[in-house]
Structure 1
């Protein structure tokens, strides 16, 4: 695939891999530097951007939002993959308040399990 096209339109697999990596980096940054550090905030925001990109590109056919009833802390959605990718069923969590901030009400409805 042409490199420019791949950058502009990454595959679902590539986005999931990036989301998982950035989520891990965010957690490490929080442990090392605290939740309010610039690196922690940047990592968290990048994860959210990648998740939104995944949803806007591939929902609801390949990924959808489902409220995670097991989530500890604040209420969150799981980005559920319709097919397992890299041994993963989910592309991490997205707090519901963040989803409501970055997605329109129409997108939220469209991205929930159909």
Structure 2
């Protein structure tokens, strides 16, 4: 990052790199300190916020939401799919459907925005 504009309006690649880094940190802190530790929940929540920022900035033209049917998880997950790969990445990790629904309930996202994010 070279200037304030990069902080305010990070590129698609920068946001994906940050999401990947926080996802890694979340998994590591969950293993070390437990999934409910303050560090684990903070890194998870920051990853989720970065994912929503990615969607607000770049969906549906460069990234979109798709239910992930291949991952075995305890709850339904969206995959944030990239339209073009960034390095070796084809996605920006997973975002629980529950989190998106909570953000809609809190009026941080609208149902229309969520539907727009799903456009393929």
TM-score, L = length of structure 1: 0.96
Moved over 2 A (4+): none
Residues 40-73 of structure 1: per-residue CA shift (max 9 Å, x gap): 0000000000000000000000000000011222
Task: Note the 1:20-99 alignment, pairs <5 A.
Answer: 20-72=20-72, 73-99=74-100
Check conservation: 1:23, 1:43, Cα contact below 8 A. Answer: yes
Check conservation: 1:15, 1:54, Cα contact below 8 A. Answer: yes
Aligned Cα root-mean-square deviation (Å): 1.2
Pair 1:108 & 2:117 matched:
no
Q: Residue 106 of structure 2 aligns with which residue?
A: none
Check conservation: 1:100, 1:108, Cα contact below 8 A. Answer: no
Report SS of the residue matched to 1:70. coil
TM-score, L = length of structure 2: 0.91
Check conservation: 1:79, 1:94, Cα contact below 8 A. Answer: yes
Question: What number of residue pairs does the alignment pair up?
Answer: 114
Cα 1:2–1:29 shift into 2, 3 Å:
closer
CA separation in 2, counterparts of 1:52 and 1:10? 13
